[in-house]
Amino acid sequence: MLEVSIIPILNDNYVFIIHNQTQAVVVDPGDPTPVLDFLRSKKLNLVAIFITHHHPDHIGGIASILQNYNAPVYCSLYDKKRIPQATRHLKEGDSLEYLDTTFDVLDIKGHTLGHIAYYSEANHWLFSGDTVFSLGCGRLFEGSHQEMWDSLQKIKNLPKDTLIYFTHEYTLTNLKFCKSLDTQTNWTQIESDLTKKRTDGFPTTPTKLDLELQYNLFLKANTPEDFKIVRQRKDQFNG
């Protein structure tokens, strides 16, 4: 039985550990200690590390983990020189076979130019890094608004029951922004659900794509120009 365990790290990051009873794949290990503790407690053999992009809070744990496990590290071809520990480099259209599951690689640049995602069609799982969040999307540190909008269209076209595993707990702040900009939507139910999750100590990741298509203003933007307006307003939001 394959499952995804969610490991909180740093201030608001999450690491994802995809595993069965004996083997594991780690996604974006920004901090090694909680990852190593989990692997040891579950007696799991690490068989691969998947990296979505080069930012330190996503790769900071690689070196220490590799001191304890011999596993390949995957990242985008664009990030080949930016993630020196990576041993294999990917582009859109590539696929990986681990844990009896295929993970397809999507190029979702925008947040960074080397940002990729890992999609399991069989499980309807998307590991999206910092490209899309619940009710939000990543800042544009390197890519253009057009590139980010194009990336979001790829995500929008996935099956609506896709579970999006995003890596930052920004959801309640994103909710405040969406409510401030969209006063026509009834936010009562989703606000209650998300607030209860956080109050009870649970993460808001993963989120379902069909929920995001209803409420996420970045995914609801119909043109690159509309998306640019929403993104710029979020950049200036102080709520």
What does the domain layout of the chain look like in residue ranges?
3-235
Q: What is the pLDDT of residue 238?
A: 81
72: pLDDT strictly greater than 80:
yes
Residue range 137-152: mean pLDDT, rounded: 97
Query: pTM of the predicted model, to two decimals?
Result: 0.96
239: pLDDT strictly greater than 80:
no
145: pLDDT strictly greater than 80:
yes
23: pLDDT strictly greater than 80:
yes
Beta carbons within 8 Å of 28's beta carbon, 6+ residues apart: 13, 15, 16, 50, 51, 52, 58, 59, 127, 129, 167
Contact 80, 56 (CB under 8 A): no
Residue range 147-168: mean pLDDT, rounded: 98
Residue range 110-136: mean pLDDT, rounded: 97
Dihedral angle computed from the Cα positions of residues 113, 76, 13 and 2, in that order, rounded to the nearest 10 degrees: 140
Q: What is the pLDDT of residue 187?
A: 96
Average pLDDT taken over every residue of the chain: 97
Q: What percent of the chain has pLDDT over 90?
A: 99
Q: What is the pLDDT of residue 229?
A: 97
- Distance (Å, whole) CA 122 – CA 80: 28
3-235 CATH fold: Metallo-beta-lactamase; Chain A (3.60.15)
In the beta sheet, which residues pair with residue 48? 25
Residue range 205-215: mean pLDDT, rounded: 97
98: pLDDT strictly greater than 90:
yes
pLDDT tier for residue 195 given thresholds of 50, 70 and 90: very high
Element (H, E) at 133: strand 132-133
3-state helix, strand, coil in the chain (%, to 5): 35, 25, 40
